[in-house]
Amino acid sequence: MSAIDQLFTDLRVAGRKAFMPFITAGDPDLEFTADVLRTLVERGSSMCELGIPYSDPIADGPVIQASYTRALERKIKLRAILDMLQRLTPELPAPVVTMVSYAIVYRRGPERYVAAARAAGIAGAIVPDLPADEAQPLADACRREGLSLIQLITPNTPRHRALRIAERTTGFIYYVSVAGITGERNELPPEIAENVAWLREQTPLPVCIGFGISRPEHVRALAPVADGLIVGSAIVRRIAEASHKPREQVLRDIAEYVDPLLAAMG
């Protein structure tokens, strides 16, 4: 059983849902990234999603794109990110998954990338620009190393294709709440609950919702129908806007932001 499978098994036994924050690796630097991950887990996050900076991200809105640009301008490299995680993950009682472009995986080679990710303690990979129909080489490499390959289903995904994607996914399904890019939103589409409920009837995999979730009322509305919720842009924006503050204050601000979200999980 993979680390992610074990996590969702434990959460189901406890009657809880997963809270999964996203941050960008290396924004503003890797030392602070490690401190943010520690803070998020200490506050009660079930799993953390770490974005690997890429010059041409897929589906990411302006907040996350800007964070990738800042990290790349500071010459943050994949090797340094993996080294940081290798030191950090043994002390974290929650899995870390990466959001990574397939261009990065392909450049290193699926076998080498997955082996390096596992050595760094990474539990899963979300590869948004890799079509499920072309994912078999990476899926095979992930299976051999015990790394979950998490794939995305959107509101525009035809149901017959959603079933094929679910069959080729491990860990959990990432359900994209809106047709569009990441970013904070005032309201989320009312059909999310129906779509996720249908998907959960078709697969034993956990279904987690991301994109647009940023407020306690979003969490209260969606937690009953999902296995987990992903919050990203709102945290990344707070890190960007706090560049003038002492780092200890930024960590407190992040904790104060996520605490009501965690409380709303029920």
Largest CA distance in the chain: 50
Query: Which stretches of 59-101 are DSSP H helices?
Result: 62-73, 78-88
Q: Which residue has the higher pLDDT, 49 or 64?
A: 49
What's the total number of domains in the chain? 1
Residue 214 belongs to some domain of the structure: yes
Instruction: Take residue 89 and report the two structure tokens written for it.
Output: 């993950």
Q: How many CA atoms lie within 13 A of 25 on its CB side?
A: 24
Residue 7 belongs to some domain of the structure: no
- Using alpha carbons only, how large is the chain's radius of gyration in Å? 17
Tens digits of residue pLDDT in 76-106: 999 999 999 999 999 999 999 999 999 999 9
Residue 6 belongs to some domain of the structure: no
Which residue from 209, 205, 214 is spatially nearest to 225, judged by alpha carbons? 209
Amino acid 153 reads I
Residue 91 belongs to some domain of the structure: yes
| Whole-number pLDDT of residue 183 | 44
Its domain, for residue 131, covers 17-264
Domain with residue 211: its CATH number is 3.20.20.70
CA angle, 76 then 80 then 82, to 5°: 125
CA distance 264 to 266: 5
Helix (H, G, I), strand (E, B) or coil at 236: helix
| Whole-number pLDDT of residue 116 | 98
Report the 10 Å Cβ neighbour count for 253: 16
Catalytic site includes residue 60: yes
Mean of per-residue pLDDT scores for the chain: 92
| Whole-number pLDDT of residue 194 | 87
Please pick, among 10, 42, 60, 241, the residue that the annotation labels catalytic.
60
Instruction: Take residue 233 and report the two structure tokens written for it.
Output: 């842009």
Question: Whose structure tokens read 């998490």?
Answer: 150
Which residue from 139, 128, 158 is spatially nearest to 64, judged by alpha carbons? 128
Kindly state the DSSP code that residue 70 receives in the 8-state scheme. Answer: H
Residue 105 belongs to some domain of the structure: yes
Which residue from 191, 134, 203 is spatially nearest to 162, judged by alpha carbons? 203
| Whole-number pLDDT of residue 189 | 61
Which residue from 144, 136, 138, 152 is spatially nearest to 210, judged by alpha carbons? 152
Residue 177 belongs to some domain of the structure: yes
Average pLDDT over residues 243-248: 89
Per the CB < 8 A criterion, the answer to whether 223 and 177 are in contact is: no
Report the Cα 124 to chain-centroid distance in Å.
Answer: 9
Q: Model-level pTM?
A: 0.93
Residue 139 belongs to some domain of the structure: yes
Residues whose CB is less than 8 angstroms from the CB of residue 249 and which lie 6 or more positions away in sequence, other chains included: 242
Kindly state the DSSP code that residue 46 receives in the 8-state scheme. Answer: S
Tens digits of residue pLDDT in 151-194: 999 988 999 999 999 999 999 999 998 654 444 444 556 688 88
Instruction: Take residue 120 and report the two structure tokens written for it.
Output: 């760094």
Please pick, among 5, 31, 42, 49, the residue that the annotation labels catalytic.
49
| Whole-number pLDDT of residue 58 | 67
